[in-house]
C-alpha cells in the first residue's frame, strides 16, 4: 500500500473517530432523591410570589399545560402570565404519590399532588414534569397538570 493511501486512510479513520466522539453524549448521573427535589425547588419558587422565579425553572423551549387554564403556555411570557394570576391564590403543593424515571440527561416525575390555597381551599390533581439536564442544571421541558376527575 502506498504512503498516500495509508495517509488518506488514517485521515478518514481520524475524521470518523472524531465525528463519533462529537456525537457521544455524556449522561449526567441523577438519583430519584435529586429529581424529587426539583419539585421542591419549583414549589419554593411558587412561595416567593414572583412569576419570573417560577418560570426560571422552565427550559426556554418547554410547554406548560396548567390545571386552571385551557391555553398551552409555550413562551416565558405566556408562563409568566399564567403564574402571575395563579400565584395570587398563594398555592402550596404537596406530593401525594409519585413515580420517577431517569434516563440519560432526562427525567420524568409523574403522580398526584394537592394544592392548598391561601383561602383554605384545595385542589387534587395529576401531574407530569419532564426534565432535561442542560449542562448546568435540570430544567422543566414539559409540565402537565390536570384536576382529578370526579369519582362516582
138 close to 38: Cβ distance less than 8 angstroms: yes
Q: Are 149 and 143 in contact (CB under 8 A)?
A: no
Domain-embedded: residue 1 = no
Q: Could you give the number of structural domains in the chain?
A: 1
Q: Give a yes or no: residue 152 inside a domain.
A: no
Residue 59 is part of a domain; what is its CATH number? 3.10.450.50
The answer to whether residue 22 is domain-embedded is no
Is 100 within a domain? yes
Residue 49 — pLDDT band, cuts 50, 70, 90?
Answer: very high
Residue 44 located in a structural domain? yes
Instruction: Identify the band that residue 11 occupies on the pLDDT scale cut at 50, 70 and 90.
Output: low
- pTM equals 0.82
- Residue carrying the nine cell digits 472524531: 18
Does residue 14 belong to any structural domain of this protein? no
Residues of the domain holding 54: 29-147
Q: Which residue has the cell 466522539?
A: 21
Which pLDDT score is estimated for 13? 53
Residue 105 lies in a domain: yes
- With respect to residue 3, please indicate whether it lies within any of the assigned structural domains: no
Distances (CA, A) of 38 to 43, 104, 108: 9, 17, 11
pLDDT tens digits along 81-124: 999 999 999 999 999 999 999 999 999 999 999 999 999 999 99
Amino acid at each position: 500500500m502506498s504512503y498516500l493511501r495509508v495517509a488518506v486512510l488514517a485521515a478518514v479513520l481520524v475524521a470518523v473517530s472524531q465525528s463519533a466522539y462529537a456525537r457521544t453524549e455524556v449522561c449526567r448521573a441523577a438519583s430519584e432523591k435529586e429529581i424529587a427535589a426539583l419539585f421542591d425547588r419549583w414549589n419554593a419558587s411558587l412561595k416567593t410570589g414572583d412569576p419570573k422565579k417560577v418560570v426560571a425553572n422552565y427550559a426556554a423551549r418547554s410547554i406548560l399545560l396548567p390545571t386552571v387554564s385551557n391555553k398551552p403556555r409555550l413562551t416565558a411570557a405566556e408562563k409568566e402570565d399564567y403564574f402571575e394570576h395563579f400565584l395570587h391564590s398563594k398555592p402550596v403543593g404537596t406530593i401525594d404519590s409519585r413515580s420517577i424515571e431517569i434516563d440519560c440527561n432526562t427525567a420524568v416525575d409523574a403522580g398526584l399532588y394537592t394544592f392548598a390555597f391561601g383561602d383554605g381551599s384545595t385542589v387534587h390533581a395529576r401531574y407530569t414534569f419532564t426534565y432535561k439536564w442542560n449542562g448546568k442544571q435540570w430544567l422543566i421541558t414539559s409540565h402537565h397538570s390536570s384536576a382529578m376527575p370526579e369519582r362516582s
